[in-house]
Structure 1
Amino acid sequence: MEPRDSNNHSARVFVAIPVPDQITEVLKRWRNINIDKLLFRKWTHPQDYHITLQFLGEISMIKLDALRAALNNVKGTPFSLALNGIGFFGSSKTPRVLWAGVSGNLNGLQSLHLSVIQETGTLGFIPEDRPYSPHITLARRFREGEELLLEAITPAPVGIEWVVDHFSLMRTHMNVSPMYENVETFTLV
């Protein structure tokens, strides 16, 4: 793997489930229809759609190798998820994040999340205090002085399924788009 930037001393990383192409296309079509009605300043590049399992932050490249080894120990079997509408964090006057929800085998997703946290914990990574809330971020930073048109959220994609059979260690490259790079993929068997 060749990094996309010149910072070879550290990396900003997280563990995630990449969204497959067919789901990306559904979300991209929905976004293109609604982008002018939903006044967010920053829309996620479709190639960056994912479900975060754990955000890890800035780490040294030396620790990155240990992290890869730890993630190879994550146990899990493939499971199904489905799109489950559109929602937001915050109020309709000040929404912070617009997201696509997921349904399906949430027990399988939660189990994978906990297994990742257990393995990264051996390296000193601490899980977030807030409850795990799986979603696919679509946009951030709503324009001030506007109000979210809730009716634009209603015709949202629901029930479109896919099988999760892998997860990835991802690296963030700030101020570029797409901004996430797949460092390594781990298969669920």
Structure 2
Amino acid sequence: MRLFVALSLPADLRDRLCGLSSGLPGARWVDPANLHLTLRFIGEVDGHAADDVDAALSGIQGPRFTLALRGVGQFGDDRKPRSLWVGVEANGALERLQAKIETALQRAGLEPEKRKFKPHVTLARFKSSPGTRLQAYLVQHALFRAEPFEVRDFTLYSSYLAHEGAIYSAEAVYPLA
């Protein structure tokens, strides 16, 4: 089972992000139903480890908070971009939640995440470089800002890689107080 922990996005926000999903050749746009903010990628685990992950995440407590998406960017360089994303306004509550998740998963036996947490919502992945159109896109959408939304819970997802792309299933939802 391939797992990750993420925040689901409200339907109206996913619809708004779909408005950003065009105009770049070579981009594989994320299906609107799959738009999310990853808190921790876990990867392949067996059934026992998945149960341990669920138990660890079930013990996390934290307050609800509001979150706003802002700006766009890319991972990779201009010659070989890997993905296009929407950023997240600085948010201490989000950072604390992500740190609690990381700590709980390490206590459950997972290796520490090596990458620094950079909250974002992936809009597209690139098969090939869109060339100068990417920089024009980034400039055009640099001031993007979505209305804040309330984060009431976080979700453990499983991911199945199919020929047409990833299929995500919510395995468990963990409420915040």
Q: TM-score, normalised by structure 2?
A: 0.90
Which blocks of at least 5 consecutive residues in structure 2 are unaligned? none
Q: Which amino acid counterpart does residue 13 of structure 2 have in structure 1?
A: I
Q: Counterpart of 2:52 in 1: which secondary structure? A: helix
Distance 1:30 1:159, change over 3 A: same
Say if 2:13 and 2:146, in contact at 8 Å, map to a contact too.
Answer: no
- CA RMSD in angstroms comes to 1.7
* Mean Cα deviation higher: 173-182 or 12-21: 173-182
Q: How many residues align?
A: 174
Say if 1:42 and 1:139, in contact at 8 Å, map to a contact too.
Answer: yes
Q: Does 1:123 align with 2:123?
A: no
Aligned residue in 1 for 2:62: 76
Distance 1:145 1:89, change over 3 A: closer
Q: How does 1:177-188 map to 2 (within 5 A)?
A: 177=165, 179-188=167-176
* Mean Cα deviation higher: 39-48 or 68-77: 39-48
Q: Counterpart of 2:132 in 1: which secondary structure? A: coil
Q: Does 1:100 align with 2:86?
A: yes
Q: 2:152 aligns with which of 150, 161, 165?
A: 165
Q: Does 1:154 align with 2:144?
A: no
Q: Does 1:19 align with 2:9?
A: yes
Say if 1:47 and 1:178, in contact at 8 Å, map to a contact too.
Answer: no
Q: Counterpart of 1:180 in 2: which secondary structure? A: strand
Q: TM-score, normalised by structure 1?
A: 0.85
1:86 Cα deviation (Å)? 1.2
Say if 1:93 and 1:148, in contact at 8 Å, map to a contact too.
Answer: no
Whole-angstrom distance in 1 between the partners of 2:154 and 2:95: 13
Q: Does 1:53 align with 2:53?
A: no
Distance 1:66 1:26, change over 3 A: same
Q: Counterpart of 2:148 in 1: which secondary structure? A: strand
1:56 Cα deviation (Å)? 0.7
